[in-house]
Amino acid sequence: MPEITLIVDDVRGAILVEDNPDLNADAIEHLRETLGESQEIGCARPLEITKPPVSFSKQPTNSISVRIAGFYHDSLTEGPGRRSSVLFQYCPLKCKGCWVENLHDERAGTLIPIAVLAEELLDSKFERDGVSILGGEPFAQPEGLLALVKELRKRSCPHIVCYSGYTLEQLREKSIKQPAIGASLGEIDILIDGAYIESLAQSAGLWTGSGNQRVIDMTETRAGNRIVLYS
């Protein structure tokens, strides 16, 4: 019998129903009748992704900038609890079946000063349990990523999740030549690592896109000097 997952948004009163291709038409109709009008959304992200206005990139600030496609609040599937999330622009990995190909181009998106981005992500109008950094490939902008993580911490962000198409082992290898990568790994709470593998999409677990990806508890990993998965 196919399973379905329901997530209750206790702030907004919405119920999120995860899609399951094994559900038959009768079951879907029954859900519609029981839960009322529905709206289809992608990966439980809000429909609206805020694209930073070009004027953001012109704001005078001393902080370094990062190239992003946009940000949003109230995401329920990119780490524990409710997240404010940012999509970094550019990814060199180009996984087959990647569903965010618009984030591959190095020249697209908007350059935004770190201080401005941190302020948007920690906007007090929204509730959050933490911030999630996605892409694109966040570690492809190592200096910007590190500056953002530090700025979020400076502003008392309680929890930071970072996604990467590289494995933790690959990132550690890269950090030999790019110390900012190692420094970011030293600050974040959870790393969700590994490239997207289309053939493993059906075995994806919590917060991941394919079954090969790991949710790594970086605090425990750093403390124990061995990779500890989040549980």
Binding site for ligand SF4 (CB under 6 A): 91, 93-95, 98, 100, 103, 135-137, 165, 195-196
CB of 174 to ligand SF4, least distance (A): 14
- Cβ proximity of 54 and 134 under 8 Å: no
CB of 161 to ligand SF4, least distance (A): 14
Two tokens at 82?
């409710």
CB of 55 to ligand SF4, least distance (A): 27
CB of 210 to ligand SF4, least distance (A): 9
CB of 137 to ligand SF4, least distance (A): 5
Let me know the angle formed at the C-alpha of 17 by 14 and 18, rounded to the nearest 5 degrees. Answer: 140
How many angstroms separate the CA atoms of 185 and 216, rounded?
A: 11
CB of 188 to ligand SF4, least distance (A): 17
When the beta carbons of 63 and 167 are compared against ligand SF4, the nearer one is 167
Which residue's Cβ has the minimum distance to ligand SF4?
A: 165
Contacts of 76 (CB under 8 A, 6+ apart): 7, 9, 16, 44, 82, 83
When the beta carbons of 66 and 91 are compared against ligand SF4, the nearer one is 91
When the beta carbons of 170 and 178 are compared against ligand SF4, the nearer one is 170
Burial 167-198 (b: 16+ CB within 10 A, else e): bbebbeebbeebebbebbbebbbbbbbbbbbe
When the beta carbons of 67 and 115 are compared against ligand SF4, the nearer one is 67
When the beta carbons of 63 and 132 are compared against ligand SF4, the nearer one is 132
When the beta carbons of 142 and 165 are compared against ligand SF4, the nearer one is 165
Burial 95-125 (b: 16+ CB within 10 A, else e): beebebeebbeeeebbbbbbbbbbebbbeee
Contacts of 221 (CB under 8 A, 6+ apart): 168, 227, 228
How many angstroms separate the CA atoms of 189 and 46, rounded?
A: 23
How many angstroms separate the CA atoms of 193 and 191, rounded?
A: 6
When the beta carbons of 103 and 114 are compared against ligand SF4, the nearer one is 103
CB of 99 to ligand SF4, least distance (A): 7
